[in-house]
Amino acid sequence: AGDRVAILCQNCPEVFVIEFACARLRAIFLPLNWRLAISELDYLISDATPRIVFADDEHIGRAQQVCEHRPESISMEIGESTDFEKILAIGDHSLPSLPAADFDDVWMILYTSGTTGRPKGATLTHGQNYLQAVGLGAEYGVTHETVGLTYTPTFHASGLFMFAHPTLLFGGTTHLMRSFDAQTVLNMMTDRSLGLTHSLAIPTNLLMIRNLPDFEEADFGNMVIPSGGAPVPGALIKTFSEHGAQVPQVWGMTELSGVSTSLPPDKAIEKAGSCGPPLMNIDVAVIDEHDNFINTANVTGELVARGPMITRGYWGLGDANAQFYLEGQWFRTGDAGKIDQEGYVTIIGRWKDMYISGGENVYPAEVEEVIYQLPAVDEVAVIGIPHELWGETGMACIVIKPDQELSETDVTKHCLAELAKYKVPKVVQFLEELPHSANGKILKHVLRDSLGIADELDRTLRSKSEEGNHA
């Protein structure tokens, strides 16, 4: 009990075999991001100190490399014709009498993406995993007849929780893809013989599927495809709805045991832009820059959350975990958002991504939503850049769809018609592509680095530095 068991591989059934073996043994499951460099993997191994690192044939060499100087860690290959497979085939079920896991026993450590420094290992318990599966099952009607599709990485909360865990808990079927391929996903989602009912899609995945020629004739047969990880453009939700898909926006984070709010599928169009009310077992509130709770509806601040779903802390940080919580065990999410009169949460963006232009707070997600209304836009990321007069202004980094045309004037004119002047980006940059994380999120800190923008733009909480409105 308590030993860490790491796995380094792309999506495969062995992920779940090892995960549930850890549950039975009360060991701690440690999925590793196979896209990391050796130095990054070495840091995770040194931080979590697993007893063993399982890896597939593609990654066993790197597993051996990070274990070779660590006597406490060994590596073992998984997959066909391996010793691991032979052990499974023996089917020896004799185990010593083991006590059942308690609610608060840690089942897994999921490392965050580390976009603001070293990755941190969020600890999640057996009880939290159970509550998450039950909550999602109740929200989305998961039953023994559910047929899910999982293609997001299983080293990430999305790959485990949406919808593999609830589907397995209720006795349904999960189709597991090794990795995402837009054409294959579209083919599977529209193949009535497979009968897919549930899947998760990061907004980037939805954009890639929408851009396929076959999408025009696609019929998703009322499939439920929640989307999160970034604000979902309303126009994209509407487009998929017209093809028979329900695309409710969800919000959550690894530290909250995955999804924390969810827009009911029947509200996906009516409440487009919102990510719904909190799920069971979690409370969500809004605070200002001075940590005061905001009780007025539709006022933007930093979202905080509390309840049994919140991580008890990051692995190995001990007392340093206190910095991530307010009094009353409210966890700082780092997301900017607001809550309406009905309790529906709307995500404005990352609180640290907010920039201040002439004393006015600007939230990039709001500007991005407007730019996405332009038919030629494939992807967009808005970031703050220094400005001599206003302190900061926005730069819109845009990827244009193939065979489409768009000018800076087109973008500026459209934004001026839809936004206050201070929110309109002063700079428009057209790029071939935007940098993404392993689960499809746009990496704005990488984008800033690639454009040579000063590091100080990666800021934490801040208040207005100037007064006045230059609208």
| 362-395 confidence digits (pLDDT tens) | 888 889 989 999 999 999 999 999 887 787 899 9
The answer, yes or no, to whether residue 400 has pLDDT greater than 90, is: yes
Q: Which fold has domain 354-457?
A: GMP Synthetase; Chain A, domain 3 (3.30.300)
**Tokens found for residue 242:** 């017209």
In whole numbers, what is the pLDDT of the chain averaged over residues? 89
Residues of the chain with CATH 3.40.50.12780: 124-347
| Beta carbons of 262 and 241 less than 8 angstroms apart | no
CA distance 36 to 42: 10
Q: What is the pLDDT of residue 449?
A: 87
The answer, yes or no, to whether residue 239 has pLDDT greater than 90, is: yes
Which of 375, 433, 369 has the alpha carbon at shortest distance from 210? Answer: 375
Query: With bands split at pLDDT 50, 70 and 90, how would you rate the model's confidence at 40?
Result: confident
Query: With bands split at pLDDT 50, 70 and 90, how would you rate the model's confidence at 459?
Result: very low
Residues of the chain with CATH 3.30.300.30: 354-457
Strands 355-357, 360-362: parallel, antiparallel or unpaired by DSSP? antiparallel
pTM of the model: 0.80
Lowest mean pLDDT among 38-52, 176-190, 212-226, 387-401: 387-401
Q: What is the pLDDT of residue 460?
A: 29
Q: For 218-229, what is the mean pLDDT?
A: 92
The answer, yes or no, to whether residue 441 has pLDDT greater than 90, is: no
Residues of the chain with CATH 3.40.50.980: 1-100
Q: Which fold has domain 1-100?
A: Rossmann fold (3.40.50)
Q: Which fold has domain 124-347?
A: Rossmann fold (3.40.50)
